[in-house]
């Protein structure tokens, strides 16, 4: 079977790898010169920076991501475990809290901070265990259909925390590392529990950048006889009797196919899908679903030998309620790149959520030609983040050599994410059936993969890819 995959992000590459290994003829179309999407890395002044992937959870032997990665050979990359006794450090209301690896150890640590909530903390960690057990079941069934998952999909994470804990500070501390998801009142408990539970199992950084993940997958596709065309955006389709027969590209080529898997945002897919293949109501619904916020990142190049490498992540909060996003750069995550050598950091990333509305005035401009106002806006935002972090990263002051920045516009232009969204379509616990998209579409040979289907991140995208390929493979 000949399969065209639109988009060479993580989901598209994983599907291409597995399907090409099964003997299918694979052609991946990627609009950018490089594959990888948010896995991309880039160099500035000789130092490597990551676009979006900074650390992963559940990669220990026998844990969920380790099992998911095994068929791809991704476990052999140079993963570095973070400090088990302090893999995430939270600064909140003048206090410091450490997240530790291991469910029992995490329970004990949280109880040491909040002894009056011992029973509630114990129950919370039991919930995390249960959510991970449900995800482990994906090897025999669809996790979205399991009783463990479905019980959490329709619950609000915010409402759960409000009812489970009487201590407001504890609620916010447990949410303090969650810049890797969008905290909103409608966020399903399923996503909150899966994401936090996985990192509590174990936490890892990849030495040498996330681009390595994309390269392993792309090399695998090619070694299985597949083809990857970069700088080849899909611009349309040919169809016959309600089925897609080919995908056209910007240079005028048409790649004939028996099946299409789309790894691009569903709204972008609808823009190039011919009228009549799907109902207008379906098209309108996918185009109207709200997207999560984007990210602003300040990539800091540091002076050599000045800033000690921290084998942990830092999350600094200058607001009381972390579930009330105000878009004023009052929460920032700090990620260190594993040094190529020595014990000092050469670059770190400071990141904070940023709404599309903050950069929409420059949406029609071209990358690198957005004007002085845009450059000044980025510099002001970077300086805010630096000022927020410096009291907790005391050796940073005076030791920044250069600053490179990215906004939701950058993500839109380089990775193709709709409105620069960091986590794709917002998942809503009150509208599960409409915001969690099934991989199957009304077009019988068109399927969806990527972060908009199940849930986002390395884990969510890999779960979706493995499940989709499993559904397409005769048992």
184/211 Cα distance (integer angstroms): 30
213 and 190 housed in the same domain: no
Which residues are within 8 A (CB) of 418 and not within 5 positions of it... i.e. 6 or more apart? 265, 267, 268, 291, 412, 424
Q: What is the CATH number of the domain that holds 146?
A: 1.10.405
Residues 107 and 44 in one domain: no
Whether residue 343 lies inside any domain: the answer is no
| CATH number for the domain that contains residue 14 | 3.50.50.60
CB neighbour burial string for 136-169, b if at least 16 within 10 angstroms, e if fewer: bebeeebbbebebbeebbebbbbebbeebbeeeb
In contact, 158 and 172? CB cutoff 8 Å:
no
Q: Is residue 226 part of a domain?
A: yes
Tell me the sheet residues that pair with 414: none
Q: 117 and 170 share a domain?
A: yes
CA-to-CA distance for 149 and 141, rounded, in angstroms? 12
Please state the separation of Cα 180 from the chain's center in Å: 7
DSSP code of residue 89: E
Query: Three-state DSSP class for 262?
Result: strand
pLDDT at position 279, please? 95
Question: Which structure tokens are listed for 411?
Answer: 């993500």
Look at residue 188 in the predicted model and tell me its pLDDT: 94
CA–CA dist 289, 296 (Å, integer): 22
The pair of three-digit structure tokens given for residue 312, joined into one six-digit string: 């942990």
Crossing angle for the helix pair 10-21 and 457-472, to the nearest 10 degrees: 30
How many other CB atoms are there within 10 angstroms of residue 103's CB atom? 16
Strand partners, 94: none
The DSSP line for 237-293 is EEEETTEEEEEEETTS-EEE-SEEEE-S-HHHHHHHSPTTSS-HHHHHHHHHSPBPP
What's the gap between Cα 365 and its chain centre? 26
**Are residues 75 and 181 located together in one domain of the fold?**
yes
Residue showing tokens 């579930």: 323
Same domain assignment for residues 235 and 279: yes
Indicate whether 173 and 243 sit together in one domain: no
Is 132 in the same domain as 116?
yes
CA distance 451 to 292: 11
Structural domain ending residue among the three candidates 174, 204, 234: 204
Quote the CA–CA distance of 13 and 7 in Å, as a whole number: 8
* 174 and 192 share one domain: yes
Q: Which of 204, 225, 242 is the last residue of a domain?
A: 204
- 115 and 183 housed in the same domain: yes
Does residue 10 form part of some domain? yes
Burial (CB count <10 Å: 0-12, 13-18, 19+), residue 108: middle
Count of positions (residues) in the chain: 475
Whether residue 60 lies inside any domain: the answer is no
pLDDT tens string, the chain, 475 residues long: the values are 999 999 999 999 999 999 999 999 999 999 999 999 889 888 898 888 998 889 999 999 999 999 999 999 999 999 999 999 999 999 999 999 999 999 999 999 999 999 999 999 999 999 999 888 777 655 545 544 555 566 788 899 999 999 999 999 999 999 999 888 989 999 999 999 999 999 999 999 999 999 999 999 999 999 999 999 999 999 999 999 999 999 999 999 999 999 999 999 999 999 999 999 999 999 999 999 999 999 999 999 999 999 999 999 999 999 999 998 766 789 999 999 999 888 999 999 999 999 999 999 999 998 888 999 999 999 999 999 999 999 999 999 999 999 999 999 998 888 778 889 999 999 999 999 888 999 999 999 999 999 999 888 999 999 999 999 998 976 4
Residue 169: domain span: 69-79+101-204
pTM for this prediction? 0.94
Q: What is the Cα 163 distance to its own chain's centre?
A: 28
CB hemisphere CA count around 207 (13 angstroms): 15
**What's the rounded Cα separation, in Å, for the pair 243 and 260?**
10
* Cα torsion angle, 292, 32, 332, 66, sign: positive
Q: Please indicate, yes or no, if residue 142 is contained in any of the structural domains.
A: yes
CB-CB contact of 457 with 195 (8 Å): yes
191 and 154 in contact (C-beta within 8 Å)? Answer: no
- Residue 153 parent element (H or E): helix 147-153
Question: Which 3 state secondary structure label does DSSP give 6?
Answer: strand
Domain boundary among 149, 178, 204: 204
Could you tell me the two tokens for 151? 């019980």
* Coil/strand/helix, residue 374: helix
| C-alpha dihedral, 181 to 186 to 188 to 189, nearest 10° | 90
Could you tell me if 192 and 74 lie in one domain?
yes
Q: Determine the Cα angle at 353 with ends 387 and 403, to 5°.
A: 45
Q: Is residue 121 part of a domain?
A: yes
Both 214 and 277 in one domain: the answer is: yes
pLDDT value at residue 132: 82
- Edge-to-edge strand list for the sheet holding 446-448: 227-229, 25-29, 2-6, 259-262, 446-448
Domain assignment present for residue 356? The answer is no
What is residue 416's predicted lDDT score, i.e. its pLDDT? Answer: 75
Split into its structural domains, the chain has a count of 2
Res 152: pLDDT: 83
Q: What's residue 140's pLDDT?
A: 46
Residues 39 and 108 in one domain: no
213 CB contacts (<8 Å, ≥6 apart)? 10, 36, 39, 53, 74, 77, 206
What is the predicted pLDDT for the residue at 367? 84
Residue 419 lies in a domain: no
């Amino acid at each position: 079977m000949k399969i065209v995959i639109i988009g060479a992000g993580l989901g598209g590459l994983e599907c291409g790898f597995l399907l090409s290994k099964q003997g299918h003829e694979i052609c991946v179309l990627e609009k950018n010169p490089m594959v990888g999407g948010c896995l991309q890395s880039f160099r500035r002044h000789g130092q490597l920076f990551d676009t979006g992937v900074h650390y992963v959870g559940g990669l220990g032997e026998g844990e969920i991501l380790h099992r998911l990665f095994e068929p791809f050979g991704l476990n052999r990359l140079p993963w570095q475990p973070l400090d088990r006794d302090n893999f995430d450090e939270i600064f909140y209301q003048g206090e410091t809290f450490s997240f530790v690896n291991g469910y029992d150890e995490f329970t004990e640590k949280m109880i040491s901070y909040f002894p009056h909530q011992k029973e509630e903390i114990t129950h919370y960690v039991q919930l995390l265990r249960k959510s991970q057990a449900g995800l482990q079941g994906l090897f025999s069934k669809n996790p979205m259909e399991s009783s463990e998952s479905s019980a959490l999909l329709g619950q609000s994470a915010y409402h759960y925390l409000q009812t489970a804990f009487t201590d407001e500070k504890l609620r916010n501390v447990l949410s303090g590392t969650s810049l890797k998801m969008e905290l909103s009142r409608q966020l399903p408990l399923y996503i909150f529990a899966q994401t936090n539970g996985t990192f509590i199992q174990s936490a890892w950084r990849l030495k040498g950048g996330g681009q390595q993940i994309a390269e392993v997958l792309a090399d695998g596709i090619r070694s299985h006889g597949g083809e990857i065309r970069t700088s080849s955006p899909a611009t349309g389709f040919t169809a016959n009797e309600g089925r897609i027969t080919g995908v056209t590209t910007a240079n005028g080529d048409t790649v004939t196919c028996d099946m299409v898997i789309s790894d691009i945002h569903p709204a972008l897919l609808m823009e190039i899908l011919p009228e009549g293949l799907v109902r207008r109501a379906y098209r309108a619904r996918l185009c109207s679903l709200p997207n999560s916020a984007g990210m602003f990142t300040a990539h800091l190049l540091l002076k050599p030998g000045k800033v000690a490498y921290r084998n942990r992540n830092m999350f600094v909060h200058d607001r009381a309620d972390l579930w009330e996003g105000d878009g004023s750069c009052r929460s920032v995550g700090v990620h260190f790149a594993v040094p190529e050598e020595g014990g000092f950091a050469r670059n770190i990333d400071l990141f904070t959520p940023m709404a599309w509305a903050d950069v929409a005035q420059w949406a029609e401009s071209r990358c690198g030609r957005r004007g002085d106002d845009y450059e000044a806006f980025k510099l002001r935002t970077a300086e805010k983040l630096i000022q927020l972090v410096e009291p907790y990263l005391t050796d940073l002051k005076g030791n920044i050599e250069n600053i490179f920045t990215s906004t939701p516009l950058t993500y839109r232009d380089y990775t193709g994410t709709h409105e620069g969204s960091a986590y794709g379509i917002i998942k809503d616990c009150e509208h599960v059936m409409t915001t969690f998209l099934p991989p199957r579409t009304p077009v019988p040979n068109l399927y969806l993969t990527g972060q908009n289907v199940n849930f986002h991140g390395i884990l969510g995208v890999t779960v979706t890819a493995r499940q989709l390929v499993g559904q397409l493979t005769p048992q």
